Structure 1
Amino acid sequence: MNYGKGRSAIKVNIPTRSILFQAIRKKFAQGHGFALATLNLDHLTKLPVDNAFAQAYRAQDLVVADGRPIVWLAQLAGKKLELMPGSDLVLPLTELAADMDMPVALVGSSNAALAGAKSAMEARVPNVNIVLCHAPPYGFDPEGSDAAAICDMLNASGARLCFIALGAPKQELFAAFARSRCEAVGFASIGAGLDFLSGHQTRAPKIMRALALEWLWRALQSPKRMIPRYAKCFAILPSLAANAWGQR
């Protein structure tokens, strides 16, 4: 399923969770790295106006659907996609890494959030090996000298899976930058996933997620930041729906 047009068009190339985990298990076994992105409507508002972000997205190896509108648009195009929010992938990916003895790194957010996430992950997945926690400084350039230094840290640590919690577009930019510098590392961009796990942010209740109302919960929690974002998302839906119907 393709979303958008022209240079900003992005393809969701992993339709189900089982296919995703088969692909990652194979890459771990072969010693190959990867970059995993979770596409949502906010990303689709940024891609047409941010060429660097679009280039970084095209460098991702694995792209899944994060957000029900992405799944609904696929259905409109006659395709089936499974919903895979980045936050829901953190613990399953941690379990897979632990089962295959793949060391894990946490990059992004804050030192306090990373410490909390590390404790939560170790409590839930006792055999996980977390070898690096690093919170970049404010104003972090995901393609600059600080990013190169993190790549050196990752290579020295022996990490094979790196969760990036920087938000879009920084996390995808960093994943694309680091992908060729850390050839054995798999990068998973998971947004607020570590903050949710550590308790530094509160995720929408399960009933709101089940009713596809997580966006409303987030808007109520942070209206000044989220309401303009969601307004942009709603504004692009008609053109995305027309494009999806054209792919049917």
Structure 2
Amino acid sequence: MRLRGKYFAVDINVPTHAALMAIVKTSFEHRQGFALATINLDHVTKLEREESFRMAYHAQDLVVADGNPIVWVSRLAKSPVELMPGSELVVPLSQLAADMGVSIALIGSSDESLRASGEALKAAAPGLDIAYVHAPAYGFDPTGDAARDILKNLDASGAQLAFLALGAPKQELFAALGRSLAPEVGFASIGAGLDFLSGAQIRAPKWMRDLALEWLWRLAGNPRRLFGRYVQSALAFPSLAFHAFRHR
């Protein structure tokens, strides 16, 4: 489905989890890189404001729905897609990589979190090879010289799948650069996915996720940082819904 705003249009071009796994499997087999983005309402507000983020999204090969509001809009548009939060893709993608003998990389977060999440992934995906791990320094520029050095080392490591835990918009900007500098690597932008695995952040209980209340859990944990973001996201939803209804 096409997600439309005032200044952007993004195609959610992978509608189901099964379709995503099939596409990634084929990419691994042919050593074809890709960039996977998981769009949510926070991304929508950034897409409306930031031209650089819009350009980064144009470089994403695969886009899935991360957030119940995006799924609701897809249903309103009569082009329903499945909910696929980035944090819930880390383990199944790692298991696929292990089954196919594909090495992975972990980029972002902190050294401690990457170490712990790597151990958790190896336990969940026996035989998984983690070929490259890097936690960028504070203030990391995802398009600068440091990013280019990381991509050079990543490409030399032989990893075919890199999990990016840099947060938006840094991870999408980094993935866009990576598509040109490390063309055989698949980049999956997964936000706090590695921190959830390591225990550095605690995810909402399943019952809250099932009731689409994960935002409330996160807000309660960090109201000062998230209140303004969630207000902006809530204000963005009516426009998305209007465009979805208009173009369905």
TM-score by length of structure 1 reads 0.98
2:122 counterpart residue number: 122
| Code of the aligned partner of 2:166 | L
Are 2:104 and 1:65 aligned?
A: no
Q: Are the structure 2 counterparts of residues 240 and 6 from structure 1 closer, same or farther at C-alpha, using a change threshold of 3 Å?
A: closer
3-state SS of 1:84 partner: coil
Moved more, 1-10 or 231-240: 1-10
Structure 1 unaligned segments of length 5 or more: list them. Answer: none
Counterparts of 2:35 and 2:12 in 1: how far apart (Å)?
13
Structure 1 segments, 4+ long, off by >6 Å, are none
1:22 counterpart residue number: 22
Answer whether contact 1:4 1:10 (CA < 8 A) is retained: yes
Counterparts of 1:135 and 1:241 in 2: how far apart (Å)?
38
Answer whether contact 2:109 2:135 (CA < 8 A) is retained: yes
3-state SS of 1:163 partner: strand
2:231 counterpart residue number: 231
Counterparts of 2:209 and 2:157 in 1: how far apart (Å)?
36
Deviations 1:162-188 (A, max 9, x none): 000000000000000011111110000
Shift of 1:2: 1.5
3-state SS of 1:180 partner: helix
Answer whether contact 1:104 1:130 (CA < 8 A) is retained: yes
| Code of the aligned partner of 1:110 | S
Shift of 1:80: 1.2
2:100 counterpart residue number: 100
Answer whether contact 2:5 2:240 (CA < 8 A) is retained: no
Counterparts of 1:208 and 1:6 in 2: how far apart (Å)?
31
Are 2:178 and 1:159 aligned?
A: no
Shift of 1:242: 0.6
Counterparts of 2:185 and 2:226 in 1: how far apart (Å)?
32
Identity %: 54
Counterparts of 2:110 and 2:118 in 1: how far apart (Å)?
12
Counterparts of 1:72 and 1:5 in 2: how far apart (Å)?
15
Are 2:39 and 1:32 aligned?
A: no
Shift of 1:114: 0.3
| Code of the aligned partner of 1:226 | L
Deviations 1:10-43 (A, max 9, x none): 1100000111111111111011000000000000
| Code of the aligned partner of 2:160 | R
3-state SS of 1:225 partner: helix
3-state SS of 1:64 partner: strand
Deviations 1:41-75 (A, max 9, x none): 00000001100000000100000000000000010
Answer whether contact 1:160 1:184 (CA < 8 A) is retained: yes
Are 2:194 and 1:201 aligned?
A: no
Counterparts of 1:237 and 1:107 in 2: how far apart (Å)?
31
When the two chains are superposed, the root-mean-square deviation of aligned CA atoms in Å is 0.8
Answer whether contact 2:47 2:53 (CA < 8 A) is retained: yes
Answer whether contact 2:5 2:239 (CA < 8 A) is retained: no
Shift of 1:6: 6.0
Counterparts of 1:156 and 1:7 in 2: how far apart (Å)?
38
Moved more, 5-14 or 219-228: 5-14
Counterparts of 2:105 and 2:85 in 1: how far apart (Å)?
20
Shift of 1:136: 0.4
Answer whether contact 2:77 2:247 (CA < 8 A) is retained: yes
Shift of 1:7: 5.0
3-state SS of 2:89 partner: helix
Counterparts of 2:28 and 2:62 in 1: how far apart (Å)?
14
Count of aligned positions: 248
Answer whether contact 1:4 1:44 (CA < 8 A) is retained: no
